[in-house]
């Protein structure tokens, strides 16, 4: 729900101004900007309501903790921070790697981090384990964006399900633009390795889905 | 305020299929409520103005601390701009704290939730004012958020304030005062009030029109916040389910009363603004006329107080909430900046 609402708001005309998302016309194109804003707000609220009322078999303390954790990931220290810096960087030729990493760690990775950490806490992980998973998530979050940047340059809109070539048009700073396609691919491989290292001490069977997810993100073609 | 005792014929009203909103009940039971007024605790000695302004100070300090400016500055400045606006009356926090104290809760248990209510309230106002929504150039006596920071930053400021509210409740509410299971109820209550069955619904109907009259919109837009604030206060203090329901009805009545009176005050002072409301949103006065509005206001006042009548066992602690009703109706003093 949170992911969807952030995409809905992101796609709005006065934000990224996207006409296509997940293979369909964007929400505001179908329902209007006002409804897209409100629907996003409603989804955001409902996510928290749902967590608070529908989570069963978990002690209240843990549910409260994950609510706090999620709120932190999607707000001004997480998702929104990334979006803000992204907006303020548009058209700016001086955006360096650090800056780009900030944007991606917050804009893309924050929600992934939140998802993984929430799962860990709900599952009863200790603090050390939570931190390993947090690091795992940060790696794959960044990995996701690096691959996204590469795909934007190399694929068409139909294959992607969203508007391709946008980054170049908007003169946006991307990994391929900063360090070239080859180095970007190298960086992606490094991130994938680092991510999987975090899971080394866990039961391989139980860690398998997360490992598969990391590989999926690294090797996806859309 | 002089109220007419002649009941004018009511216009055709649309009754939603499921529940009868509070205002429809108000119109139908107006004559009945005039007959008996039970003896109530005297509120004439209670200094609401001082109580309220003291609370405003505390809430403002806490809000200031809760949103420190850090990187990236723009978003924090945008958030602070709206949350710390001088014109904010802080009615939701005051209702929340008063309701909490009514049931024996400590105000320190309530402050984080009170702040969260303001953050969430500010977030919904920022979004409401956007060009694609109500397109309001000003709010609380200052230019609206998007006119200063841009539409994109305003959207994000709202998107950041909603979760900050929840986070603030979790990180700042002392768990020795409020067990986690009650915190979850508070969070669920705020989320519900803000969402698709609450304020978002109200705003949607306000914008898109439809068969529902101004009554439904008023309840959804303004009743919800009042209801939510009072209920949260009760939840924090561990009030019983029955007491929570009373608070719910009380808060809803006060929230709507406040807005009906606001509409009346605007209609009296400036006809131009009245016309603007007719085109853009739904004003109670524009829809039903000032006399009907007065009747409804009086009945809402009676309804709100009636809910508190069942709480006599709490003695003096009920007084702030009583006084609040009279303030909403009569506006005997000014709090913050009255400009909207």
Tens digit of each residue's pLDDT (9 = 90 or more) over A144-154: 989 998 998 88
User: How far apart (Å, rounded) are the C-alpha atoms in residues B36 and B13?
Assistant: 27
Question: What single DSSP character describes residue B317?
Answer: G
β-bridge pairing B142-143 and A20-21: unpaired
* Higher-confidence position of B38 and A115: A115
Task: Pull the structure tokens for residue B37.
Answer: 């007024």
Average pLDDT over residues A60-74: 96
The answer, yes or no, to whether residue B6 has pLDDT greater than 60, is: no
Cβ-in-10-Å burial (0-12, 13-18, 19+) of B45 comes to exposed
- Bridge partners, B138 (sequence order): B143
Region B135-156 average pLDDT: 95
**pTM attached to this predicted model:** 0.86
Give the number of C-alpha atoms closer than 13 A to the C-alpha of residue B281, restricted to the C-beta side.
Answer: 23
What mean pLDDT is predicted for residues B82-92?
92
- The mean per-residue pLDDT over the stretch A163-172 comes to 66
Question: What's the rounded Cα separation, in Å, for the pair B152 and B146?
Answer: 8
pLDDT of residue B220: 76
Are the Cβ atoms of B191 and A49 closer than 8 angstroms? yes
More confidently predicted of B287 and A67? A67
For chain A, give every domain's residue range: 1-6+27-54, 63-219
Which residue of A53, A75, A81 is in closest CB contact with B163?
A75
- Kindly report the nearest CA distance between residue B189 and chain A, in angstroms: 8
Q: What is the pLDDT of residues B33-44, one digit of tens each?
A: 444 444 455 666
Which residues, in sequence order, are CB contacts of A6 under 8 Å at separation 6+?
A: A40, A74, A79, A83, A111, B159
Tokens of A2: 């949170």
* pLDDT over threshold 50, residue B19: no
Closest CA to B121 of B170, B151, B87: B87
* Shortest Cα–Cα distance, A164 to chain B (Å): 22
pLDDT attached to residue B7: 36
Q: How far away is chain A from the Cα of B257, in angstroms, using its nearest Cα?
A: 25
Which ipTM value was assigned to this complex? 0.87
Block residue for tokens 């490094």: A190
**pLDDT tens digits, one per residue of A194-221:** 999 999 999 999 999 999 999 999 998 8
Residues of B in contact with A34 (CB under 8 A): 132-133, 204, 207-208
Give dist(CA A76, CA B80) in Å, integer: 12
Interface test with B, best of A38, A54, A78, A90 (most B CBs within 10 A): A38
Residue (of B258, B189, B230) closest to B318 by Cα position = B230
**C-alpha angle B159-B108-B182 in degrees, rounded to nearest 5:** 65
Q: How far is A129 from chain B (nearest CA, A)?
A: 22
Chain A, chain B: beta-carbon pairs less than 8 Å apart: 139
Mean pLDDT, chain A, rounded, equals 90
Out of B156, B162, B166, closest to residue A83 by CB: B156
**DSSP β-ladder status, B138-139 and B142-143:** antiparallel
Of B18, B224, B231, B191, residue with least CA distance to A54:
B191
The whole-number pLDDT of residue B14 equals 37
User: How much is the pLDDT for B132?
Assistant: 94
Q: Is the pLDDT of residue B249 over 60?
A: yes
Alpha-carbon distance B215 to B284, whole Å? Answer: 7
pLDDT at A123 over 80: yes
> Per-residue pLDDT averaged across A70-82, rounded?
95
Residue of chain A nearest B130, judged by CA positions: A34
Percent of chain A with pLDDT over 90: 71
Q: Kindly list the residues of chain A whose beta carbon comes within 8 Å of any beta carbon in chain B.
A: 6, 9, 12, 14-15, 32-35, 37-42, 44-46, 48-49, 52-53, 59-61, 63-65, 67-68, 70-72, 74-76, 80-81, 83-85, 87-88
Query: What's the CA gap between B9 and B233, in Å, rounded?
Result: 39
Average pLDDT value for residue range B303-328 = 92
* DSSP per-residue codes, A117-136: HHHHHHTT--HHHHHHHHHH
Residues of B in Cβ contact (< 8 Å) with A114: none
Q: Which residue has the higher pLDDT, B32 or B148?
A: B148
A63-219 belongs to CATH 1.10.260.40: no
Q: Provide the H-helix boundaries in chain B.
A: 22-35, 48-66, 73-83, 91-102, 107-128, 145-149, 151-172, 180-194, 199-208, 214-218, 224-237, 241-269, 271-280, 284-288, 290-309, 319-330
Kindly tell me if the per-residue pLDDT of B116 is higher than 70.
yes
């Amino acid at each position: 729900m949170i992911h969807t609402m952030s995409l809905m708001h992101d796609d709005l005309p006065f934000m990224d101004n996207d006409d296509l998302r997940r293979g369909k016309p964007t929400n505001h194109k179908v329902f209007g900007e006002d409804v897209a804003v409100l629907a996003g707000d409603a989804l955001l609220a409902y996510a928290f309501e749902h967590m608070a009322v529908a989570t069963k078999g978990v002690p209240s303390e843990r549910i409260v903790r994950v609510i706090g954790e999620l709120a932190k990931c999607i707000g001004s220290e997480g998702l929104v921070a990334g979006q803000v810096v992204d907006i303020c960087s548009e058209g700016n030729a001086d955006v360096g790697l650090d800056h780009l990493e900030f944007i991606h760690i917050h804009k893309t990775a924050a929600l992934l981090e939140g998802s993984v950490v929430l799962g860990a806490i709900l599952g009863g992980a200790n603090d050390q384990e939570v931190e390993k998973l947090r690091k795992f998530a940060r790696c794959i979050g960044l990995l996701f964006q690096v691959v996204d940047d590469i795909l934007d340059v190399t694929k068409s809109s139909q294959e992607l399900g969203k508007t391709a070539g946008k980054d170049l048009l908007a003169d946006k700073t991307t990994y391929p633009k900063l360090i070239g396609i080859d180095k970007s691919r190298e960086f992606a491989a490094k991130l994938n390795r680092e991510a999987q290292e975090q899971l080394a001490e866990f039961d391989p069977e139980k860690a398998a889905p997360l490992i598969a997810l990391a590989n999926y993100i690294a090797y996806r073609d859309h | 305020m002089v109220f007419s005792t002649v009941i004018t014929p009511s216009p055709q009203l649309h009754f939603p299929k499921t529940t009868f909103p509070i205002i429809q009940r108000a119109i139908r039971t107006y004559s009945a409520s005039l007959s008996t007024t039970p003896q109530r605790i005297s509120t004439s000695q209670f200094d609401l103005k001082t109580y309220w302004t003291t609370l405003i100070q505390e809430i403002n300090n806490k809000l200031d601390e809760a949103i420190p400016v850090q990187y990236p500055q723009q978003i924090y400045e945008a958030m602070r701009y709206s949350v710390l606006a001088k014109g904010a009356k802080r009615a939701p926090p005051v209702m929340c704290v008063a309701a909490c104290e009514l049931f024996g809760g400590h105000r320190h248990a309530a402050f984080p939730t009170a702040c969260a209510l303001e953050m969430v309230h500010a977030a919904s106002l920022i979004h409401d004012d956007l060009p694609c929504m109500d397109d309001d150039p000003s709010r609380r006596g200052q230019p609206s958020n998007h006119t200063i920071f841009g539409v994109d930053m305003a959207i994000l400021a709202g998107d950041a304030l909603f979760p900050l509210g929840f986070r603030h409740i979790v990180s700042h509410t002392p768990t020795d005062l409020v067990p986690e299971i009650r915190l979850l109820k508070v969070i669920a209550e705020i989320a519900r009030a803000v969402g698709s069955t609450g304020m978002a619904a109200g705003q949607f109907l306000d914008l898109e029109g439809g068969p529902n009259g101004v009554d439904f919109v008023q309840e959804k837009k303004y009743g919800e916040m009042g209801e939510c604030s009072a209920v949260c206060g009760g939840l924090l203090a561990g009030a019983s389910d029955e007491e929570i329901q009373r608070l719910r009805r009380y808060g809803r009545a006060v929230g709507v009363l406040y807005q009906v009176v606001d509409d009346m005050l605007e209609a009296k002072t400036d006809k131009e603004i009245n016309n603007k409301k007719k085109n853009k949103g739904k004003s109670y006065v524009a829809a039903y006329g000032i006399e009907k509005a007065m009747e409804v206001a009086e009945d809402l006042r009676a309804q709100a107080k009636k809910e508190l009548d069942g709480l006599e066992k709490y003695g003096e602690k009920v007084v702030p909430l009583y006084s609040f009703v009279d303030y909403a109706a009569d506006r005997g003093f000014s709090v913050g900046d009255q400009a909207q």
